[in-house]
């Protein structure tokens, strides 16, 4: 993967929020960003913090011209991990609910509904029904195709976030998810991400599964 440029996140988010703002609504983009700042900047965010978000935004920038509703996709990327508790099954649902509260009176209901749908897709359980949904999930998974040392560091950071979960629970669950990725016909649904990252992602996931198996996890 190419080096990631530095992004002025506050300026960028405020610009996105203002583009989505209902006519006549008060601009509360500053306070909305401050809320994201507190959450993504929390000390326990070892993976699901600014690094992952910035990575997603950079991947978005490279593929945005291919999207139908890029503002909805970008908003979903900003919000998809805003609520994160390691091991919790409701992170995406809670993130979508928080966005609904943030957007109340600010953003059109049809846009809110679309963004919430895209946030829920990052559970990686449901098949996206439109091309923009495919871009959301592909972007969220794109770090699977990092250089191997970076992939290992991401895996370590994920484990540190979930330090409250015992190894004999955490790693088998990881293996189930990773094997489910390899069991797909394609890890990446869009042609753009499939062509760029499919082979590397499959190599990394396979190698990490073998690494965990060598440590006795099944």
pLDDT in tens, 38-60: 999 999 999 999 999 999 999 99
Q: Structural domain of residue 186, as residue ranges?
A: 9-214
**Average pLDDT in the chain:** 96
Structure tokens at 21: 């703002």
Closest CA to 156 of 5, 46, 59: 46
Structure tokens at 92: 């995406």
CA distance 76 to 181: 22
* DSSP letter assigned to residue 107: B
Helix (H) / strand (E) containing 10: helix 9-20
* ∠ Cα 121 128 159 (to 5°): 35
Whether residue 47 is contained in a domain is answered as: yes
Whether residue 53 is contained in a domain is answered as: yes
Give me the number of domains the chain comprises: 1
User: 3-class DSSP state for residue 146?
Assistant: coil
Residue 4 above 60 pLDDT?
Answer: no
Whether residue 36 is contained in a domain is answered as: yes
Whether residue 144 is contained in a domain is answered as: yes
Structure tokens at 58: 């950079």
pTM assigned to the model: 0.95
Whether residue 56 is contained in a domain is answered as: yes
* CB contact at 8 A, 15 and 32: no
Helix (H) / strand (E) containing 52: helix 50-63
Query: In this predicted model, what pLDDT tens digit does every residue of 202-218 receive, in sequence order?
Result: 999 999 999 999 999 99
1 pLDDT tier (thresholds 50, 70, 90): low
Whether residue 168 is contained in a domain is answered as: yes
* CB contact at 8 A, 46 and 81: no
Whether residue 1 is contained in a domain is answered as: no
């Amino acid at each position: 993967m190419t080096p990631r440029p530095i992004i002025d996140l506050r300026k960028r988010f405020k610009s996105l929020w203002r583009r989505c703002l209902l006519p006549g609504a008060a601009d509360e983009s500053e306070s909305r960003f401050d809320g994201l700042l507190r959450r993504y900047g929390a000390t326990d965010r070892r993976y699901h913090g600014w690094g992952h978000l910035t990575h997603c935004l950079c991947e978005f920038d490279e593929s945005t011209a291919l999207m139908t509703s890029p503002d909805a996709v970008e908003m979903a990327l900003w919000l998809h991990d805003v609520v994160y508790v390691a091991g919790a099954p409701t992170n995406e649902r809670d993130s979508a609910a928080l966005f609904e509260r943030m957007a109340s009176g600010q953003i059109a209901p049809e846009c809110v509904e679309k963004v919430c749908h895209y946030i829920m897709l990052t559970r990686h359980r449901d098949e996206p029904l439109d091309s923009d949904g495919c871009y959301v999930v592909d972007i969220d998974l794109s770090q699977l195709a990092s250089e191997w040392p970076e992939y290992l560091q991401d895996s370590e950071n994920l484990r540190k976030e979930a330090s409250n979960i015992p190894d004999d629970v955490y790693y088998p669950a990881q293996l189930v998810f990773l094997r489910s990725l390899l069991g797909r016909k394609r890890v990446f649904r869009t042609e753009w991400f499939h062509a760029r990252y499919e082979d590397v992602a499959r190599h990394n996931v396979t190698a990490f599964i073998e690494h965990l198996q060598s440590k006795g996890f099944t």
